[in-house]
Amino acid sequence: MSDTEEPKPTLDPMSARPLYVQLADVISGKIASGELVPDRPIPSENHLADEYGVARLTARRAAQELRERGLIVTVRGKGSFVAEQPPSDAPVEGTPEA
């Protein structure tokens, strides 16, 4: 580990927000910032649990939350990958264009 490495966000166990939501938000932020890029794997549940000091089931629930948000896809036997994101300026289906 180097001194230039950014400190990882800490999760607040005393918060009203569940830990899995906090962890999902951290990973979502990494996806939004480009640190985790589309079609590339996210860290494993075991790695996330170790890195953030949470139970593996908390990491698993965070991954489920990210799947529900459409941010990752999971391939059985391969892992979870960042989903392809539509361009932010693309019109949303079902909305009239200007």
Domains annotated on the chain, with CATH: 19-82 (1.10.10.10)
Please tell me the predicted confidence (pLDDT) of residue 22: 97
Q: Tell me the per-residue pLDDT of 43-78, one tens digit each, with 9 for 90 and over.
A: 999 999 999 999 999 999 999 999 999 999 999 999
* Alpha carbon distance 47, 70 (integer Å): 21
Q: What six digits make up the tokens of 31? A: 């996806």
The overall longest dimension of the chain from CA atoms, in Å, is 50
* Alpha carbon distance 80, 39 (integer Å): 9
